[in-house]
């Protein structure tokens, strides 16, 4: 506990929003403003917040006499939830300290708790049982790499895991991995809620407006790029005939990426400058929060950050949902099954490195007359396959709601 304030101060130097709402993180002075009983959803950050969209809409529709509480860990997650869900109550998840967790349960008294993906906090889970709050791990994802790490402490994890009322997994591999870790309770494979997206039309309208000055150009987005990847990308830009969007994963990297664009003499515009694009613009730096759907809507092709270097990849479902073909680097362990299925279903292409990535982009965006017709056919088929792929995986949110309804 003495280290936690130091951690927050350190994070606050890069993102001032970490300097606020400490009482929520430490479980002091909490206030429940809800006038209704609470259904609680924990979604740690932006990806999980967006993945809960359809589930939240379904709960609000079916249970209007309940108030949804959404907890999160990061300021970006909180801001995303605030923008997407105006009717929910927001609170940071308390740090996993007994007094903080106890105060959280005493204050909000949730009727039921849904933990998105794989957030395993022993005190949070233990005291849910103590306060008679059924707790579910939903949209659960546990890769083989993560499982190998957890397996080393499975004797510690097993009693904690078995306090969940059920684990509802994205895929069979995840379910099998939780079984191997010793979970004996109810479990079900329901798929991923990330396929149940509900994208606000404002993002498409904004995308059309922003793209208008360069409507004649193809656009490729490098989405959620991670440390070291931006320089690999920027150093390989060879004055292409298409526009490149780079959206770093973390806001503290915005300035670093701008410095790289200056270093390599790339003509760029920052989204935060709110200036129109022009025909000479090579890169749009996506230095804004909560606009990823707008960037995807602008784009014709998406390259997933985190897959170029060994970070395991980022969420490729969102661009596929919008019928944007995807290019993946070699590292996809965070989304192993979906990445493999997307490649097999020919809505994604996997490459070995950045140089091969740009060769694929050049091929799909070919302007040479002899190649254009063939490559346009390849691109169009990939875009069509995205639509088929998405339909195949939708429905997880409804399955989760159907399962938990017996506990509400």
pLDDT tens figures, 101-123: 999 999 999 999 999 998 999 99
Single out the residue of 375, 373, 372 nearest to residue 360, CA to CA: 375
Q: What is the mean pLDDT of residues 163-190?
A: 96
- Answer for the pair 193, 204: CB distance below 8 angstroms, yes or no: no
48 is catalytic: yes
Which residues make beta-bridge pairs with 248? Answer: 225
Pair 370, 403 in one domain: no
Do 271 and 127 fall into the same domain?
A: no
Are residues 309 and 359 both part of a single domain?
A: yes
**389 and 399, same structural domain?**
no
Residue 47 shares a structural domain with residue 57: yes
Residue 2 banded pLDDT, cuts 50, 70, 90? confident
Going by pLDDT thresholds of 50, 70 and 90, the confidence category of residue 393 is: confident
Rounded CA separation 102/88 (Å): 22
| SS3 (DSSP) at 2 | coil
Mean pLDDT, all residues of the chain:
94
Q: Are residues 270 and 342 in the same domain?
A: yes
Helix 154-161 to helix 144-151 angle (10° resolution) is 110
Domain co-membership, 175 together with 260: no
Are both 179 and 297 inside the same structural domain? no
Q: What is the pLDDT of residue 271?
A: 97
The position carrying tokens 């949804």 is 68
Most confident of 45-54, 159-168, 390-399: 159-168
Question: Residue 369 belongs to a domain with what CATH number?
Answer: 3.40.50.2000
pLDDT > 80? residue 210: yes
Query: Residue 205: which domain range?
Result: 201-393
Would you state the pLDDT for residue 370? 65
In this predicted structure, what is the pLDDT of residue 9?
A: 92
The domain spanning residue 97 has which CATH number? 3.40.50.11720
> Do 171 and 89 belong to one domain?
yes
Mean pLDDT for the stretch of residues 202-217: 96
The tens digit of pLDDT for each residue in 350-392 reads 999 999 999 999 999 987 766 667 778 899 999 999 999 998 8
Question: 321 and 271, same structural domain?
Answer: yes
Q: How confident is the model at residue 240 (pLDDT cuts 50, 70, 90)?
A: confident
Is the pLDDT assigned to residue 398 strictly greater than 70? yes
Q: Which of 24, 48, 229, 318 is catalytic?
A: 48
Instruction: For residue 52, count CB atoms less than 10 angstroms from its CB and return exposed for 0-12, middle for 13-18, buried for 19 or more.
Output: buried
Instruction: State residue 156 phi and psi, 5-degree precision.
Output: -85, -40
pLDDT for 239 equals: 85
φ/ψ (deg, to 5) at 248: -65, 150
Closest CA to 235 of 258, 260, 268, 210: 260
Is the model's pLDDT at 144 over the cut of 90?
Answer: no
Asked if residues 253 and 211 have their Cβ atoms less than 8 Å apart, the reply is no
Q: Is the predicted pLDDT of residue 399 greater than 80, yes or no?
A: yes
Residues 386, 276 share a domain: yes
Q: Which of 104-118, 126-140, 162-176, 370-384 shows the lowest mean pLDDT across its residues?
A: 370-384
Instruction: Write down the pLDDT at residue 372.
Output: 66
69: region left, alpha or beta (phi > 0 left; psi from -120 to 50 alpha)? beta
What is the number of domains present in the chain?
Answer: 2
Give Cβ neighbours of residue 363 (< 8 Å, ≥ 6 apart): 371, 375, 378
What's the longest Cα–Cα distance across the chain?
A: 70
| Residue 134 and residue 31 share a domain | yes
């Amino acid at each position: 506990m003495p280290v936690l304030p130091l951690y927050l101060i350190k994070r606050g130097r890069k993102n001032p929003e970490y300097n606020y709402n400490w009482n929520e993180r430490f479980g002091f002075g909490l206030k429940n403003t809800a006038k209704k009983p609470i259904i609680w959803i924990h979604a740690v950050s932006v990806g999980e917040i967006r993945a809960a969209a359809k589930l939240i809409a379904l709960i609000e529709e079916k249970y209007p006499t309940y108030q949804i509480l959404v907890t999160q860990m990061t300021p970006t997650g909180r801001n995303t939830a605030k923008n997407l869900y105006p009717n929910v109550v927001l609170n940071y998840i308390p740090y996993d300290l007994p007094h903080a967790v106890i105060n959280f349960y005493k204050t909000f008294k949730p009727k039921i708790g849904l933990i998105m993906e794989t957030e395993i906090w022993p005190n949070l889970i233990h005291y849910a049982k103590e306060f008679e709050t059924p707790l579910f791990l939903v949209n659960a994802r546990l890769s083989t790499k993560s499982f190998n790490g957890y397996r080393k402490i499975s004797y510690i994890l097993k009693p904690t895991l078995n306090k969940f009322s059920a684990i509802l997994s994205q895929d069979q591999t995840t379910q099998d991995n939780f079984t191997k870790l010793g979970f004996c309770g109810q479990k079900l494979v329901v798929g991923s809620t990330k396929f149940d997206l509900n994208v606000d039309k404002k993002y498409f309208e904004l995308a059309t407006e922003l793209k208008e000055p360069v409507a004649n150009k193809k656009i490729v987005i490098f989405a959620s790029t991670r440390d070291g990847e931006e320089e690999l990308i920027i150093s390989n830009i060879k004055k292409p005939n298409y526009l490149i969007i780079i959206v770093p994963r973390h806001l503290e990297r915005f300035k670093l990426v701008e410095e790289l664009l200056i270093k390599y003499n790339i003509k760029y515009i920052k989204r935060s400058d709110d200036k129109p694009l022009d025909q000479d613009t090579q890169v749009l730096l996506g230095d804004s929060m909560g606009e990823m759907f707008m960037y995807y809507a602008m784009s014709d092709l998406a390259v997933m950050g985190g897959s170029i270097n060994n970070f395991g990849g980022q969420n490729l479902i969102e661009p596929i949902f919008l019928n944007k073909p995807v290019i993946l680097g070699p590292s996809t362990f965070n989304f192993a099954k979906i990445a493999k299925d997307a490649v097999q279903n020919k809505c994604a292409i996997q490459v070995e490195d950045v140089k091969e990535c740009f060769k694929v982009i050049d091929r799909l965006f070919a302007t040479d007359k002899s190649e254009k017709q063939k490559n346009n056919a390849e691109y169009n088929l990939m875009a069509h396959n995205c639509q088929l792929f998405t339909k195949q995986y939708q429905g997880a949110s409804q399955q989760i709601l159907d399962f938990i309804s017996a506990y509400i």
